[in-house]
A and B are shown apart, each in its own frame.
Chain A
Amino acid sequence: EPEVTQTPSHQVTQMGQEVILRCVPISNHLYFYWYRQILGQKVEFLVSFYNNEISEKSEIFDDQFSVERPDGSNFTLKIRSTKLEDSAMYFCASSSGLLGQPQHFGDGTRLSIL
């Protein structure tokens, strides 16, 4: 069964540094998403991406964040000038976009900011 893959599985970074989280969505999916989950809290939407542009973003997704699809397969989340509170699990997801069809999640990147 096709799956969403994410790298790295764990990223440890000093506060103030930039990180790039990478995702390879399911190949025939058209919609891509980033979510985050702070330890002990619920999964929160960050951004959705379709047709090479952001289709929606949450209030969490401020100027510190950016997304890119640099080629036909990768989908990246860049976090500039990381803060302690950016420590969380970051999940990439993709979907076909058809009504009622679910999103499929990658196994996440655990980001630890020191």
Chain B
Amino acid sequence: RKEVEQDPGPFNVPEGATVAFNCTYSNSASQSFFWYRQDCRKEPKLLMSVYSSGNEDGRFTAQLNRASQYISLLIRDSKLSDSATYLCVVKGNTPLVFGKGTRLSVIA
């Protein structure tokens, strides 16, 4: 089983749509969880940390289910500028472990 698995994508959605990404992780000792976004040939940039109680940052909502080892990201009212690859990232007592990412294309 891969350490961090994500929806394969790509997701092609119209502007204004709501889109959800899922991620599962295999290491139950993982302690910290993040969503990063990566534009083509650019560095990963932190989108948001994911907390056990769930958290929201503007149009973005992240959820964590430790029992199921499942993380989600919801994007509401998609913008063209949201087009990118979204990386699910997990950390335990080890360095960051990245998922392969899910590509999102928001279409006008």
Whether B11 is near chain A, meaning CB under 8 Å from some CB there, is no
- 9 other contacts beyond A41-B100, A108-B43, with CB at 8 A cut-off? A42-B98, A44-B98, A45-B95, A48-B95, A56-B95, A58-B95, A93-B96, A102-B34, A105-B45
- Are B95's CB and A33's CB within 8 A? yes
Q: Which residue of B lies closest to A43 (CB)?
A: B98
Number of interface residues of A (CB under 8 A): 23
- Are B101's CB and A42's CB within 8 A? yes
Of A41, A43, A104, A110, chain B has the most CB atoms within 10 Å of the CB of A43
Whether B49 is near chain A, meaning CB under 8 Å from some CB there, is yes
Q: Name B's A-contacting residues (CB within 8 A).
A: 31-32, 34, 41-46, 49, 87, 94-101
- Are B31's CB and A43's CB within 8 A? no
Q: Which residue of B lies closest to A108 (CB)?
A: B43
Q: A100-B32, A102-B34, A102-B49 are in contact. Are A108 and B95 (CB under 8 A)?
A: no
A101 to chain B, nearest CB (A): 8
Q: A42-B101, A43-B87 are in contact. Are A91 and B96 (CB under 8 A)?
A: no
Of A41, A91, A102, A108, chain B has the most CB atoms within 10 Å of the CB of A102
Measured between beta carbons, the chain A residues less than 8 angstroms from B99 are 42
A99 to chain B, nearest CB (A): 7
Q: Which residue of A lies closest to B95 (CB)?
A: A45
